[in-house]
Amino acid sequence: MSAQPVLVACAHGTRNPTGRRLIAELALAAKQLRPGLVTTAAFVDVQPPTVVDVVAGLAAGGRPAVVVPLLLSGGYHVHVDIADAVAGAEGTVAARPLGPDPRLAAVLLDRLVEAGADAADPRTAVVVAAAGSSDARSVADVERTAALLQQSWAGPVTTGFGSAAQPPVPDAVDAARRAGADRVVLAAYLLAPGHFHDKLAGAGADLVTAPLLPDARIAAVLLDRYDAAVGASPEAAAPADGLPAAGPR
């Protein structure tokens, strides 16, 4: 029987020490949920080891692998960086990114409530704040997440981006106020603290949520992406329509 593929948890990378710790803990949580699963880390930017080096090393050793993007949408890093890294590596495949997924929208909802926002108030607007990408597929993924969150939010839910996509987060906050919102809350659609989360405090919103991690549901999403890529659970890759009730963290 062939060896179980190594799960390569591929994150963007950050200089923020708390962000680094939370990403490492996410991969560890997945391993704890799946005893015996071999996991390793890789990054597309900022910190080593690069996904290219990790994939090449596993392939050279004859180890099959699944690269799971620890990214919330499919942009350049997914469709170019990670795709190129696995293209020439025999036995290595790439899974789809963590988002969109109704469980991530459920975590966003929890973060909003924890920050003091009222889901039942129609005059509290939410801007889902994402890092941003010039890839239209990434923007569509964030908009899908906003649509999932809207199912559980009485007020309007829109999107804003830290870079490369429109509208910028401060513009999205201004637009929500002009549309009549009494309060505007930024739902940080980011896995962990870092550069983009730091910028949200100056965007003009009344509240800013904490990032998504830590949360056990995200480790479950990570394993679903891995399983779908190896064919163990193909249905796990299909986006769901509903927004499930929040589970334990």
Q: Is the dihedral of CA 81, 225, 151, 107 positive or negative?
A: negative
**Domain locations in the chain?**
6-99+214-237, 102-208
According to the model, what pLDDT value does residue 3 have?
76
Class of domain 6-99+214-237 (CATH, top level):
alpha beta
Q: Which residues of 208-235 are buried (b: 16+ CB within 10 A; e: fewer)?
A: bbbbbbbbbbbbbbbbbbbbbbbeeeee
Indicate the SS3 state at residue 137: helix
Helix residue spans in 116-185 (DSSP H): 136-150, 169-178
pTM: 0.89
What is the rounded CA–CA span in Å between residue 131 and residue 240?
23
Q: Do domains 6-99+214-237 and 102-208 have the same CATH topology?
A: yes
Predicted confidence at residue 248, as pLDDT, reads 33
Would you mind telling me the total number of residues written for the chain in this entry?
A: 249
Pick from 55, 58, 77, 74: nearest CA to 11: 77
pLDDT at 36: 93
Q: Which pLDDT value is given to residue 151?
A: 98
DSSP code string of 84-133? HHHHT-TTEEEPPPS-S-HHHHHHHHHHHHHHT--TT-TTEEEEEEE---
Q: Nearest-CA neighbor of 112 among 186, 173, 180, 218? A: 186
- Tell me if residue 212 falls in helix, strand or coil: coil
- Structure token digits, residue 179: 């549309």
Long-range contact pairs involving 109-112 (C-beta distance under 8 Å, separation at least 24)? 109/149, 109/152, 109/153, 109/243, 109/246, 110/215, 110/246, 110/249, 111/187, 111/188, 111/209, 111/210, 111/211, 111/212, 112/153, 112/185, 112/187, 112/209
pLDDT given at position 45: 87
- Give the class (CATH, top level) of 102-208: alpha beta
List per-residue pLDDT tens for the chain, 249 residues long: 357 999 999 999 889 999 999 999 999 999 999 999 999 999 998 899 999 999 999 999 999 999 999 999 998 889 889 999 999 898 999 999 999 999 999 999 999 999 999 999 999 999 999 999 999 999 999 999 999 999 999 999 999 999 999 999 999 999 999 999 999 999 999 999 998 999 999 999 999 999 999 999 999 999 999 999 998 433 333 333 343 333 333
Q: What is the CA radius of gyration of the chain?
A: 18
